[in-house]
Amino acid sequence: MDQKVSESHTLQHYDLYIDGRDVPCDRTMESLNPYNGQPWAVVPDAREEHMDAAVAAARRAFDEGPWGRMTATQRGALMRKLADIIARDAEELAQIECRDNGKLYREMLGQWRYIPEYFYYFAGMADKLQGDVVPSDRTNFFIYTRREPVGVVGAITPWNSPGLLLTFKLAPGLAAGCTFVVKPSEHTPVSTLELGKRFKEAGFPDGVYNVVTGQGALGAALVRHPGIDKIAFTGATDTGKKIAASAASNLTRVSLELGGKSPNIVFDDADLDVAANGAIAGIFGATGQTCMAGSRLLVQESVHDALLDRIVERTKQIRLGNPMDAETEMGPVANEPQFRKVLDYIEIARSEGGTLCYGGQRDPDLGGFFVQPTILSNITNDMRIAREEVFGPVLSVIKFRDEEEAVRIANDTRFGLAAAVWTKNIHRAHRVAHRLRAGTVWINAYRVVSFLTPFGGYKESGLGRENGADAIREYTETKSVYVELTGEPRDPFKLG
């Protein structure tokens, strides 16, 4: 299993997962394997009535079912069981995602082996979520606060890392006591459906976890549904804006983890070999299909050519191929619309004056949706390739003179998700990190996340935070409770 995973050519068929059981649907759609462009699974293309049923099931589980009556400790115990089952099935789930989105099996396996840690962490936090005793300005009142679950959560997840990015929402939300209706991307729905079996095996009450698959209109129906208390979305910024506007009609709470155009800043005192590896990992890892991709490489003038030469030479050696093979270093783009978009952006960059250093086209030797890892130099920060999210294996290299210019270029973007600083100067490292307007900053590293650490963006990269202690607060409401201590009649027309 660690060396090479055999491919199945049998179409897998799935039902919706609603109220603890499989629910058939009269409409279906095919999920394509990006490696060969062929269908490998058949999944439901649900109607709005299925969404209504899922929301109703989640509402019953929250308001009336055993889930709402469980103690936080009991919820945590179920989450630990779920984590154990996911750990047991990590290889199977990784294979599923590899076929669904074309990412490397070894990367997906690493993710699924790490996902249980999120559930263990938040399971432990479930019964540590507590309110405060508030000092009273009146002698006859005792005042305290409670942290209570926000209610029914609608989770809308993307195609790039469906299991991990769903876990970012599920783990804190379940710990807080919420129930879920999940609408995964129509391109990568299978692992989300597969999780339903694991919830059932772990003993979660019916209705706590529901999955409704279908086209984008189904997600819109979820956002505007009056039975939803919160929307948790990961995806494109423009879509996130539409979701926020639609959710506002019901005053539905939202958390949005959106796009990025993250600066990867290399100063002239950096270790160039290490920085070159970091730049390659930041943009070509996951075929560049990650919101935190280091798509803008900012390089100090004096080391620009030397660093670019290193990156180009290493990029030429990147092995494209079957994502199931252990030797493969970069897989295909996840779906045809994204494949076309990436190629279009490369042509736009060249038309604006960018210099193609390597790549720039569909790989001539492979089928499916393979785009060569692409490096563009002579990019200025006003070009579209430097300002708009490509979400593919395209690196834009930008020169800068000094620290002031580096920070100015880095912050000159509507996004603010992530950034990195490469330098041996500890004073500069912290100084620049503090000035960057981004939710995550790495120093001499790139593309590292943890269940312990908040993740989210500034500006148009989103609202709210996922992971870490901050995340669970996104799934709770604060209730203030006043307790009158004397029992004596009060003046009904006097406040307090």
Catalytic residues: 257, 291
Report how far residue 221's alpha carbon sits from residue 63's, in angstroms, rounded to the nearest whole number.
22
Q: Is 192 exposed, middle or buried, given 0-12, 13-18 or 19+ CB atoms closer than 10 A?
A: buried
Report how far residue 385's alpha carbon sits from residue 349's, in angstroms, rounded to the nearest whole number.
6
Residue 167: which of 470, 469, 471 has the closest Cα?
Answer: 471
Q: Which H or E element spans position 328?
A: none
The structure tokens 């058949």 sit at: 42
Backbone angles phi, psi at 163, to 5 degrees: -70, -45
Looking at the DSSP bridge assignments, the partners of residue 44 are: 28
Backbone angles phi, psi at 299, to 5 degrees: -125, 130
Phi-psi region of 410 (alpha: psi -120 to 50; beta: other; left: phi over 0): alpha
Helix extents (H) in 42-104: 48-63, 66-69, 72-88, 90-101
The answer for residues whose C-beta is within 8 angstroms of residue 352's C-beta and 6 or more apart is 383, 384, 385
Report how far residue 392's alpha carbon sits from residue 160's, in angstroms, rounded to the nearest whole number.
11
Looking at the DSSP bridge assignments, the partners of residue 235 are: none
Torsion of CA 166, 171, 172, 175, to 10 degrees: 140
Q: CA distances (Å), 424 to each of 267, 279, 421, 429, 430, in order?
A: 9, 16, 10, 8, 11
Phi-psi region of 286 (alpha: psi -120 to 50; beta: other; left: phi over 0): left
